[in-house]
Structure 1
Amino acid sequence: MDLNLVDSYDYHLPPNLIANAPLMPKESARLLVYEREKNKISHLKFGDLAEILPPCEIIFNDTKVIKARIFGAKSSGGKIELLLNSPLNDNKFSAYIRGRVSVGSELVFDKNLRARVVECCEDGLRVVEFSRDNRALSSHEIFALTDEIGHVPLPPYIKREDTKDDESWYQSIFAREAGAVAAPTASLHFSEEMLRALRANHGIYYITLHVGAGTFKPVEARDLREHKMHSEFYSIAQDTADILKSDKKILGVGTTVTRTVENFARNSARCGACELFLHPNNPPIRQNYLLTNFHLPKSTLIMLVASFIGLEKTLEIYREAVEQKYRFYSYGDGMIIL
């Protein structure tokens, strides 16, 4: 099994195991537990986490998902769909646009929001500049407008339109820093009751990484060493940075936290662009434990899981999860590596 071949990270998932909505209450979701020292797999509920978690500090991602999908039309005619990706300098945004556009295309949306395409990138992204009443808009103004006219950017494998319920379902209870276009989905399982139980014996800290649409981008290279990782903005509060510099054990809740923690471990930068790609040949050097959902075959996210426990064990766990009929992906169940 070649660790560098993307095809090595494939597995079979019956479509009926893809979750289209979360379980309620949140802590009723299932949790697969893998203990490395014992080489043991067990099956619990998320609500059991406080009882089984060893001494450690817990780090969450407090990014907030914006209503990043907006529908409009070209000023010349023809419908388009725009998915915000991330803010850029000079009040510009990178975005994915469904519908044929070129540099100079003018796009019109509700609330008199307009966008002009200023660059078409080779990776499918478009750079756009938003305005309203002939005035350029800041990212905060755009977020406020999309909150009125936009839609929750559900992942492409959820084959339905977003609903009002998704506005709370697809958001963690501690989301506060607006800017993500995809949720840090391991965090979706946590209720206030769970946080209270965890705080009794564990410190809780936060980072911010604004998840971009690139998280769903397939790995198109045959060899993962040729894959160019997408870039996402992150920031780390000083108290969190202090914990990361200590020798205390760390549980990262989700792959976004993990990449941020490991990025900091490599360059000590508390903010910037995270482009770190973790895989078995580039394993973690700081984070001890990982809590995460189940991920797409051949994705950078399943490769990140394999960076903790190896490819063979990762595929074994995923086969077990399929056999046990776990619910997969963003609204699904999860696993913890201890």
Structure 2
Amino acid sequence: MRRTDFAYDLPVDLIAQHPPAHRAGGRLLHVPKAAPVQDLKFTDFPDLLRAGDLLVFNDTRVIPARVRGVKPTGGQVEILLERVLDANRILAHVHASKPLRPEAPVSLPGGVEARFIQRHDDLFELQLSTEPLAYFEQYGAMPLPPYIERDAEADDAARYQTIYARKPGAVAAPTAGLHFDDEVLARCKSKGVDTTFVTLHVGAGTFQNVRVEDLQQHRMHAERISVSEQACEAIAAAKARGGRVVAVGTTVVRTLESAAQSGTSLVGALQPYEGETRLFITPGYDFRVIDALLTNFHLPESTLLMLVSAFGGFDEVMRAYRHAVEQRYRFFSYGDAMFLERR
């Protein structure tokens, strides 16, 4: 398949610029295996689950990763943290009117300096004069996606974060999880649904466009993942009792499927894994772990839409997206959700 196969028309006014008034206040499009789509509310989600199912969440926590600084010339620089490398070095996306130079450190809020070390493809290696993670937590702004055309507001500090986030490292939210509040989680538990957690620290590369027409030529950005022994045991137990493994978001799909391909997994058993993933899932992929998927609506021609199409069926997913546009669902990070069962 080719990049343009995943194009669709999206009115700009359907791109959600703010979260709904309440976390679970969005809509939910159900895409069953062999029935017409259903227009629901997200609060209906627990009713789509069955006793014995397992919800798998991504417990990454978004770092307030965007800071603005000034070069010695007075030029403005925006730094978007991608990854902390060590005690004072980071990889970052940098936007400036002219290229950074090693001999010209950037002055940041709080009296901190950032010095350019070298390029790594689209990323810049920078050395800070302080410990990076603590610095960004204090001085950074939430890194809202580029299609949200406003600066981060006070409310985004909580709303662009899942209620179960606990491991700092992401610069973009695992957005399917943003819909869950305590009440929805409690209703899932009351139905006999178990939960477990994996970690994928979402990078800003998740918003990068696919620049090639031939999908085989696309190279995914690297993201750090972790699958614990407890998560492996929970997944094995769910499958043994006939329950479904329900991924809350595409990041969970990529994490578990990457672990299943890692070479450390025995036949028929998922093993703990920690490392990086560049897994690019397109139609024709043979899923090993996931049985159902809760996800938001994704950008045209994006790797995430390709993943969802691989899982739910290309024709079915593209038809569902056209339906969502017609019914004026809200799209992208702060938008509505869809629930798909494996075909």
TM-score, structure 1 as length reference: 0.92
In the other structure, the counterpart of 2:330 is 327
Map 1:1-338 → 2, pairs under 5 A:
4-36=1-33, 38-55=34-51, 56-88=53-85, 91-99=88-96, 100-104=98-102, 105-122=104-121, 124-132=122-130, 137=131, 142-200=132-190, 201-246=192-237, 247=239, 248-267=243-262, 268=265, 270-338=273-341
> How much identity, in percent, do the aligned residues show?
39
Question: Gapped runs of 5+ residues in structure 2?
Answer: 266-271
CA distance in 1, matches of 2:140, 2:100: 23
* 1:297 Cα offset (Å): 0.2
* 1:45 Cα offset (Å): 0.9
For these two proteins, the number of residue pairs brought into alignment is 325
CA distance in 1, matches of 2:252, 2:28: 19
Contact 1:278 1:284 in 2 (8 A): no
1:249 is matched by which residue type in structure 2?
R
2:24 alignment partner, SS class: helix
Contact 1:9 1:302 in 2 (8 A): yes
* 1:245 Cα offset (Å): 4.1
2:37 alignment partner, SS class: strand
CA distance in 2, matches of 1:41, 1:307: 18
Deviations 1:144-188 (A, max 9, x none): 222221111000000111100111110100111111100000000
CA distance in 2, matches of 1:82, 1:128: 10
* 1:127 Cα offset (Å): 1.1
Contact 2:88 2:129 in 1 (8 A): no
Contact 2:24 2:180 in 1 (8 A): yes
* 1:95 Cα offset (Å): 0.6
CA distance in 1, matches of 2:152, 2:172: 13
TM-score, structure 2 as length reference: 0.91
* 1:89 Cα offset (Å): 5.1
The root-mean-square deviation of aligned C-alpha atoms, in Å, is 1.4
Question: Gapped runs of 5+ residues in structure 1?
Answer: none
Deviations 1:22-76 (A, max 9, x none): 112222210000111x232101111111112134100001111111000111234
2:44 is matched by which residue type in structure 1?
D
Contact 1:280 1:306 in 2 (8 A): yes
Contact 1:236 1:271 in 2 (8 A): yes
CA distance in 2, matches of 1:279, 1:239: 29
Tell me which stretches of 4 or more aligned residues in structure 1 moved more than 4 Å. none
Deviations 1:68-121 (A, max 9, x none): 000111234311000001123574211111102335141110112211111123
